[in-house]
Structure 1
Amino acid sequence: MSTYDKYESPLTSRYSSPEMAALFSPATRYYTWRKLWLNLAIAEKELGLVGITDEAIKEMEAHLNLTPKDFEVVAIEEKKRRHDVMAHVHAFGLVAPKSAGIIHLGATSCYVTDNGDLIVLKQGLNLLLDKLARVIDRFSKFANEYKDLPTLGFTHFQPAQLTTVGKRATLWIQELLWDLRNLTRARDDIGFRGVKGTTGTQASFLALFEGDHEKVEALDKRVTELADFKEAYPVTGQTYSRKIDVDILNALSSFGATAHKIATDIRLLANLKEIEEPFEKDQIGSSAMAYKRNPMRCERICSLARHLMILAQDALMTNSVQCANRRISLPEAFLTADIVLSILQNVSEGFVVYPKVIERHIAQELPFMATENVIMALVKKGGDRQQCHEEIRVLSHQAASKVKEGGENDLIERIKKTEYFKPIWNELESLLDSKTFIGRAPQQVDKFLKDYVEPALKPYSENLQVTSQAALNV
């Protein structure tokens, strides 16, 4: 069958980065199995197990990468034996005949399947952490650039007190920092299953080493070191506890919620025409409505993030009843998170801000927000607070009615025509300076970036200038 005659997941055929797609490929999976068999043989030989020769080790080392012929042999053997691990043991033995008798010696299937998964999951989290740090860096640059630009803040998506464009971005960044923390914890908590035998008792290895418990423990430790893990789980059953998968997918799903929130905020702001995601010169927003500039990147983030968020349920169910859908849910979670990060990077590197639109929206709402300032200024001139409140209330409702009928907010003009407010007419311009309504927003941005973002990104400093091809092609 050709590529076009069978279903392919869009996660790999359309969206994913080459490095993440390769990590979860059959080639990587089965290379990892062969490397684990090699490590086991090396450790067993070091501990004095007879029958494992230098020639056998070298032969295994020379055939770690599978060829197309290897995959053909595996397919035939698995169809016959109905056992994927034994099919690969057979195929490995054919290309490394001097080691055929010692491949998988003392091991159970989960020695390669579970340890292999743990290796891939750890590498996958490293890829995601690099990309997440890059996204945080890009959003931080945006926050710094626009830390002083006043904009309407919203509560319940209704105009509220002013904030700044940069300060709003720090709310996104803060959640991304928490995701960086969560993914780092999940990665650092991953241990190794090691060599535990069929049900975790290490009985087969104890038999191999003729009852020598110290050698069995040394074997477990050495194989763990060869796989570049600091420690193995002290106890396991047949598999490592699927609670590990829960911790990882919970962290990834939590990131999905962050990404969905950020993209939703941007979509709402795009509707207001205050901020837009990148839009290429020849990009088409609608097949019918040629004028449209749909926020397709942020829409894609929301769609993929929703899928990512629900995958945590798979891990929870697997942990509770040990079902087998993790072969689907784990790769999909990593591929989806990878894609979302690539799109977020693309968006953050191509933000378009429209200050004039933002200024117009502020002008429509600021007179209402300034009423308290007007009252205070008049009281300082000797006015009565209660009377002033009533005067401004009446004018505010009149102006609001005009706005709701499609007119402009003319509250300030009404104040200028009301004799009661004459003592502060010459102060109205300063009372309406939007920069006096943003509080400590610029200072908060500076402090947040310096005290929280910079330390968090320091381990990733060499990576931050990299622009991934996936981010360019979303």
Structure 2
Amino acid sequence: MAAMAARPSRPPHPESSLSGMPTSLLTGDHDTYQNPLNSRYCSPEMKFIFSPRNRFSTWRQLWVHLAESEKELGLPISDSAIQQLKDHVRIEDDEFGAAATEEKRRRHDVMAHVHTYGIVAPEAAGIIHWGATSCYVTDNADLIFLRDALNIVLPKLAAVIQRLAAFAIEYKDLPCLGYTHGQPAQLVTVGKRASLWITDLLRNLRNLEKQRDEVLHSFRGVKGTTGTQASFLAIFKGKHELVDELDELVTKKAGFAEAEISTSQTYSRLIDVDVLHALSSFGCACERIGGDIRHLAMFKEVEEPFEADQIGSSAMAYKRNPMRSERLCSLGRKLHNFSADAEQTYASQWLERSLDDSAIRRISLPESFLCADACLILLNNISNGLVVNKAVINQRIEQELPFMATENVIMAMVDKGKSRQEVHEEIRVLSHQAGAVVKQEGKPNDLIERIRNNAYFEPVIPELESLLDPATFIGRCPEIVHKLVATKVKSALEPYSEDLKNAQVAELSV
């Protein structure tokens, strides 16, 4: 008889955790999931932007803007009502519980906060949210958060570019092996390679600046339930000009250049797509830069910072793992995947609005900025402590340069009257012989000695040393770096001059 299959284990009791501990005992912060972006990687200023206090206090500030503007345009709102709203813009700790209780009862977060705000501002309770729909606060607040978060990201990115520019200038003429297809190629310089990173980050800076400026001209303003402004037209007794003026007043008070003329119940989720595309592009650059540094660390040419007490491996005490660059790749990869959330959310919206965008945006918008912030902290920390191992770089050049110098030898022999095809064949034979010695015997590259000892090459023997000078293989690398920094970098960083005066080396929490 076949053995009876084992029965699946019974699921845990709903009042117990998987370990058998009663869930009633799991009450502390250490008993609940912590998002590592929040607990390990990000700055306090970015975490505050998307915090509950900032969110709900921003809602309240928007209600103040609305009430003030309605009063200025003639609606019967008392000075004391406005003052009470202003006095309680910052939501206090004890109000969160009241709002949560009300939301559980009403299943509506905005109305829960209208109720909670009205308790502390009773004279304004009847006019809070007058004429507005929920998206007046939720969507306008999200646009404020996008604007403010971009304004945190941009100076931090400028600081990284400034530091990498200084690094590129310092090493603009230090030759090193170039690589194409993962194979040694014509020499570049350490600074020239860094200029590739700078060029991409400058593009990221422009993309993010553009999106910040687009957001500044894309406020939702006061548009009503389906974007028709019908409720506000009713409040102002059919006076269209007052509705327009209300929209403009609120927009200006919120710090935006202008509002969209036509919206649905929400602002267009295409704005999220464009912003997250810019952040996604930055994430790609982070993974690319981190990957380059990891490869260079593997070659021992360039290494990221490594602290005195840092442990590279729990087992192998000698290791210097590039953990910062690995983390940068990991977070960069996560960041550039957020764009799909925004794309799919925008594409799936129905007519004037559907609520399937809400839950996903509560996750993807904050986490994309938190992820970008974490990447910037890493880039700042890494770029301020890059270690260049010149001896290793020179050693690796010496291993490969004889092969790269063959074209110089061929050209010199042709100048002496030899046939290029004939010289090429002589060099080809010697190169394969030297290659076999390196690959099969593990010995140093002896191609130059083979050339030196071959009578055929006697006409260029006196020139061999100059033909092997690494500085003759780097082309215009120093000039390229200098031109990039003196023109593109200088102009791009000019708007951030005050921020850069106070730029500091970012420290990692873990």
Fold shared, TM-score > 0.5 on shorter chain:
yes
- Alignment correspondent of 1:193: 220
Partners of 2:219 and 2:493 lie apart in 1 by 27
Cα distance, 1:315 vs. partner? 0.2
- Alignment correspondent of 1:410: 446
- Alignment correspondent of 2:17: none
1:310 partner letter: N
More deviation in 457-466 or 207-216?
457-466
Partners of 1:197 and 1:412 lie apart in 2 by 80
Cα distance, 1:213 vs. partner? 0.5
Partners of 2:348 and 2:423 lie apart in 1 by 69
| Conserved 8 A contact 2:175-2:187 | yes
Distance change >3 Å, CA 103–CA 29, structure 1 → 2: same
- SS of residue matched to 2:177: strand
Q: Given the alignment of the two structures, is residue 156 of structure 1 paired with residue 191 of structure 2, yes or no?
A: no
1:329 partner letter: S
Distance change >3 Å, CA 403–CA 469, structure 1 → 2: closer
2:436 partner letter: S
More deviation in 258-267 or 373-382?
373-382
Structure 1 unmatched runs, 5+: none
- Alignment correspondent of 1:331: 366
- Alignment correspondent of 1:96: 121
Partners of 1:356 and 1:182 lie apart in 2 by 39
- Alignment correspondent of 1:284: 311
- SS of residue matched to 2:184: strand
More deviation in 65-74 or 28-37?
65-74
- SS of residue matched to 2:179: strand
More deviation in 413-422 or 133-142?
413-422
Q: Which residue, out of 343, 352, 355, partners 1:316?
A: 343
Q: Which residue, out of 65, 90, 98, partners 1:39?
A: 65
- SS of residue matched to 2:312: coil
Cα distance, 1:153 vs. partner? 0.5
- Alignment correspondent of 2:489: 453
Q: RMSD in angstroms over aligned alpha carbons?
A: 1.0
Cα distance, 1:468 vs. partner? 5.2
Q: Given the alignment of the two structures, is residue 352 of structure 1 paired with residue 379 of structure 2, yes or no?
A: no
Q: Given the alignment of the two structures, is residue 428 of structure 1 paired with residue 464 of structure 2, yes or no?
A: yes
More deviation in 269-278 or 377-386?
377-386
Moved over 3 A (4+): 465-474
| Conserved 8 A contact 2:61-2:89 | yes
TM-score normalized by structure 2? 0.91
| Conserved 8 A contact 2:236-2:242 | yes
- SS of residue matched to 1:154: strand
- SS of residue matched to 1:152: strand
Structure 2 unmatched runs, 5+: 1-26, 350-355
Distance change >3 Å, CA 468–CA 88, structure 1 → 2: farther
Cα distance, 1:372 vs. partner? 1.2
Aligned-residue sequence identity (percent) comes to 61
Partners of 2:85 and 2:196 lie apart in 1 by 52
- Alignment correspondent of 1:341: 376
Q: Given the alignment of the two structures, is residue 386 of structure 1 paired with residue 421 of structure 2, yes or no?
A: yes
Cα distance, 1:467 vs. partner? 4.2
Partners of 1:242 and 1:269 lie apart in 2 by 41
The 5-angstrom pairing of residues 146-295 of structure 1 reads: 146-190=171-215, 191-295=218-322
- SS of residue matched to 1:106: coil
Cα distance, 1:388 vs. partner? 1.9
Cα distance, 1:471 vs. partner? 3.7
Partners of 2:421 and 2:83 lie apart in 1 by 92
1:225 partner letter: K
Q: Which residue, out of 369, 372, 388, partners 2:407?
A: 372
Partners of 1:107 and 1:181 lie apart in 2 by 35
Partners of 1:468 and 1:147 lie apart in 2 by 24
Partners of 2:103 and 2:475 lie apart in 1 by 68
Partners of 2:374 and 2:197 lie apart in 1 by 18
Q: Which residue, out of 65, 78, 81, partners 1:53?
A: 78
2:291 partner letter: T
Cα distance, 1:470 vs. partner? 4.9
Distance change >3 Å, CA 468–CA 81, structure 1 → 2: farther
| Conserved 8 A contact 1:17-1:469 | no
Task: Give the number of equivalent residue pairs.
Answer: 473
- The C-alpha deviation readout for 1:62-96, integer Å capped at 9, x for no partner, is 11111111111101111111111011011111111
| Conserved 8 A contact 1:135-1:344 | yes
- The C-alpha deviation readout for 1:157-210, integer Å capped at 9, x for no partner, is 100101100001111110100000100111100111000001100011011001
Q: Given the alignment of the two structures, is residue 78 of structure 1 paired with residue 113 of structure 2, yes or no?
A: no
Cα distance, 1:472 vs. partner? 4.5
| Conserved 8 A contact 1:56-1:96 | yes
Q: Given the alignment of the two structures, is residue 143 of structure 1 paired with residue 168 of structure 2, yes or no?
A: yes
Q: Given the alignment of the two structures, is residue 437 of structure 1 paired with residue 473 of structure 2, yes or no?
A: yes
